[in-house]
Chain A
Amino acid sequence: MGSAAQARVPVLPEWMRFDMLLGMRLALGISISDMKLFRGNRILGLALPFLAAISFAGQAPSPSQQAATAAATPAQTTPISPAQAGTLNVVVLDPAHGGADYGARGTEGVRESEVVMEFAVQVRRALETQGFQVVQTRLGNEDPTFDERSAVANAQVGAVFVTLHVASTGLPGTARVYVNEDLPVTPEVAGLIPWERAQGPFLSLSRKLGDLVQGQLAQRFKGSPGSVQSAAVRQLRTTAAPAIAVEVSSVTVENRNDLDRMAPGVADAIAKGVAAFKPSYVVAGAAGAKP
């Protein structure tokens, strides 16, 4: 029965899938991460103009929107008020790796996936002190996929994305900020951006955010670079928001405490960098919320 019913489901052409997804998003207020359930393939358009229209028209989000967003964002506690809409309010914090993926591992048993969770606690606290709402892509030892992590950020309005990493290399006690490399420009269809290159329109804002955070880190950690660097970081590519990766050196330390001692400085640097970035991120001003 089940298979017979499935066989009757028509296969829609690509452009109709886009329209269906947009229609569902607009009508039901479901989050983009939920929309992933309906993805027939890896191409998912991000309807930035429509999202902006919903979010910045001065209307409070519908109960279904709030519920769906909360479901997609495990750590979100306070909904954004209409007065806050249009400015940067949310920071999506991504402690990298997790689960069976330990990330970088040091000879003394230091694991990147564990260290970044410790860092995330302090970064979250520092950001909340600055008045930001923080959403984490993982709260425990689970390992969401790259797309699932990006989906958490892409479901937010007026958010920035910060992914936390610990390197295997580099001068111990230093920290670097990366933004995505230039992505090939692709023609947009009715304001839709391919999921695979969602970071494209946000690159200049990401660089600005990255420079501000890197500047703060350089003041605290001697030997760190003075400006943001570019790299093809997989996690950033599918994120439709100003997005940076912060990488601390390194898991090769003999004592884990050497890394833990960096956490307050890294947290403070990120929080102050994001706060300095806030005035330059006026989401509502951009037609279609595109930078």
Chain B
Amino acid sequence: MSPKWRTGLIMGLAVAVSAAAIYLPTLRQHVKRTAKLVQQTEEQARRELTQALSPTPTGPRVKTKLFWASGTEGARLTAVTVELPLADDPVLRSKQVLNTLLAGPVDSDLRTLPPDAALLEFYLLPDGTGIADFSEALGTSIPSGIESEQLAVESITRTLEANVPQVQRLKILIHGQEVDTLAGHLDLTGTFVVNTKPASAPAVKPAKAG
């Protein structure tokens, strides 16, 4: 090989190495982003999809009571009031409040429902029976135990009670199926009482401006 060719080859290699050095961090970032996307579970993707499909009313924001765990009193629930643009339709309204409940509080210790659980569908029968169909993660990711399972169901029923008076009782399904228990303890074969009062239209109280 002549010196001219050798110099050319070395120059070419140097350019290739430099280009690779410049491209490598970008490639690494791309790989990381892809890995993150793979990590995102099917349930999370479905949840994002269902939430995106939920209509966001442009009506007035109303005070909405959500029941999360009380950090100080063990297995107790505490009501937190947030302002949400809730729909008047009881099915849409139920989906909105349950999705907000699932999204959870900022403090993860106050969560009653696992972060990767999703509400797949909500139905309301003419007799006031609400049917909430959750993803499998509700049963598989929740801490097993009577106390924790009871708290999870109670947070759902009390949130519905406070915001959707049309729902009298609640049936919980997992991935469209009736299951024996939530995570080995709490009975999901029956319905849970939500509202004992007769149903009436929701009293929409617009939140104060500002």
Asked if B148 contacts A232 (CB within 8 A), the reply is no
Is A104 within 8 A of B144, CB to CB?
yes
| B192 interface contact, C-beta 8 A | yes
A237 vs B185: C-alpha distance when bound (angstroms): 11
Q: Bound complex: CA of A169 vs CA of B71, how far in Å?
A: 12
Q: Give the distance in Å from the alpha carbon of A223 to the alpha carbon of B75 in the complex.
A: 12
Partner of B146, one of A97, A105, A245: A245
Task: Name the B residues within 8 Å of A223 (CB-CB).
Answer: 74
Q: Which residues does chain B contribute within 8 Å of A233, judged by CB atoms? A: 146, 185-187
Task: Say whether B81 faces chain A, with CB atoms less than 8 Å apart.
Answer: no
A168 at the interface (CB under 8 A from B): yes
Q: At the interface, yes or no: A103 with Cβ under 8 Å from chain B?
A: yes
> Number of contacts between A and B (CB, 8 Å)?
69
Pick the residue among B147, B190, B192 that contacts A170 (CB under 8 A). Answer: B147
* B55: chain A residues within 8 A (beta carbon): none
**Shortest Cβ distance from residue A237 to the other chain B in the assembled complex, whole angstroms:** 6
Contact between chains at A234 and B74 (CB < 8 Å): no
Q: Which residues, 173 to 206 on B, are CB-close (under 8 Å) to A?
A: 180-181, 184-187, 189-190, 192
| CB proximity to B under 8 Å, residues A165-208 | 165-171, 174, 176, 178, 184, 196
Assembled-state Cα–Cα distance A167/B152 (Å): 14
Whether A168 contacts B148 in the complex (CB less than 8 A), given A231-B186, A232-B192, comes out as yes
Q: How many angstroms from the CA of A79 to the CA of B87 in the assembled complex?
A: 64
Cα A170 to Cα B74 with chains together (Å): 6
Given contacts A169-B75, A233-B185, A233-B187, contact A247 B144 (CB under 8 A): no
Using known A-B contacts A104-B143, A146-B180, A170-B74, determine if residue A234 contacts B148 with beta carbons closer than 8 Å.
no
B187 touches A103 (CB 8 A): no
A19 within 8 A of partner (CB): no
Contact flag A105-B145 (CB < 8 Å), given A169-B75, A232-B187, A234-B186: no
CB of B177, distance to nearest CB on chain A (Å): 16
> Contact string, A231-273, partner B, CB cutoff 8 A, digits 1/0?
1111101000000010101100000000000000000000000
Q: How far is the CB of B13 from chain A (nearest CB, A)?
A: 51
CA distance A231 to B190 in the complex (A): 12
Q: Could you tell me the distance between the alpha carbons of A146 and B185 in the complex, rounded to whole angstroms?
A: 10
Flag whether B50 is at the interface (Cβ < 8 A): no
User: Bound complex: CA of A176 vs CA of B146, how far in Å?
Assistant: 10
Q: Per-residue CB proximity of B137-159 to A under 8 Å, as 1/0?
A: 00000011111101101000000
Asked if B184 and A231 sit within 8 Å, CB to CB, the answer is no
Distance between Cα atoms of A239 and B61 in the complex (Å): 48
Minimum CB–CB distance for A103 against chain B, Å = 6
Pairwise interchain contact B147-A167, C-beta atoms closer than 8 A: yes
| Contact, CB under 8 Å: B146 / A231 | yes
Which of B145, B153, B181 interacts with A247 by CB under 8 Å?
B145
Given the interface contacts A233-B185, A234-B185, does A168 sit within 8 Å of B143 by beta carbon? yes
Q: How far is the CB of B185 from chain A (nearest CB, A)?
A: 6
In whole angstroms, how far apart are the Cα atoms of A90 and B9 in the complex?
92
Q: Judging by beta carbons under 8 Å apart, are B146 and A167 in contact?
A: yes
Determine the distance from Cα of A233 to Cα of B146 in the docked complex, in whole angstroms.
Answer: 7
Q: How far is the CB of B154 from chain A (nearest CB, A)?
A: 9
Other contacts beyond A234-B181, A249-B147: 9, CB < 8 A: A96-B184, A104-B143, A167-B143, A168-B143, A170-B147, A178-B146, A233-B186, A237-B187, A247-B145
Binding site for A on B (CB under 8 A): 74-75, 143-148, 150-151, 153, 180-181, 184-187, 189-190, 192
Counting from the closest, the 3 A-B pairs by CB-CB distance are A168-B143, A167-B145, A234-B187
